[in-house]
Amino acid sequence: MLPGRGRGRAAPAAKVPRRRLDLEERREELLAAAFELFVTRGYDEVGMEDVARVAGASKGLVYHYFPTKKDLYRAAVARGAGLLLERVDTGGDDAPLARLEAGLDAYFAYVAEHRSAYEALMRSGVGVDPEVAVILEQTREEIARRLLEGLPLVGPDAVVRAAVRGWIGFVEALALGWLASPDPDRTVLRQLALGVLQQSVTLAVALGSSREG
């Protein structure tokens, strides 16, 4: 018998205890894993077992939170949209124009840091689904509301609303084009976005006034 070896079985290696997560934390882990998989592989190539494996959970647990893959997919897209909304929610007591500038800076910073997620959201790269289209449209409207809250040029007129909605589309196109060719820098992007907004809303106000005259 070798020195130091006793008879019988060796003591089993100590197991590393798993960190206990509350229900919301576990759900968030599943959503984060799902969104990353949907972004990188596409909807059709992702199974519930893939999400379970990446999240370090059981397949049964995934089904516990999300009865179908579509439920999981929609919740993951909503989570990604929510993260973008959080980023542009600058809040505070700054003047409306300062909040708008800060919000645009935050928007383009999110785009730079979460390229794949942003492209998937705005280009529907995670799949085509009517409920997801509703989520994205609501996200666009909320981004517009948060960025433009308190600006004196934005009113209830239908022409102004159309101009603002078109401006959000312009900002998205600007960001997507920037990802394809990251030049100019974010400061120039912000200035472009501000200039287009000012020109669009000014023209919309003038057109709205002429309709009423």
Task: Give me the amino acid identity at 105.
Answer: D
**pLDDT (tens digit per residue) in 164-199:** 889 999 999 999 999 988 788 889 999 999 999 989
Ranges of each domain in the chain: 23-212
Does the structural domain 23-212 have CATH classification 1.10.357.10?
yes
Quote the pLDDT of residue 155.
55
**pLDDT (tens digit per residue) in 123-147:** 765 556 788 888 888 888 888 888 8
**pLDDT (tens digit per residue) in 24-83:** 889 999 999 999 898 888 888 999 999 999 999 999 999 999 999 999 999 998 988 898
**pLDDT (tens digit per residue) in 29-41:** 999 999 989 888 8
Residue 176 · residue 115 · CB < 8 Å: no
Task: Give me the amino acid identity at 106.
Answer: A
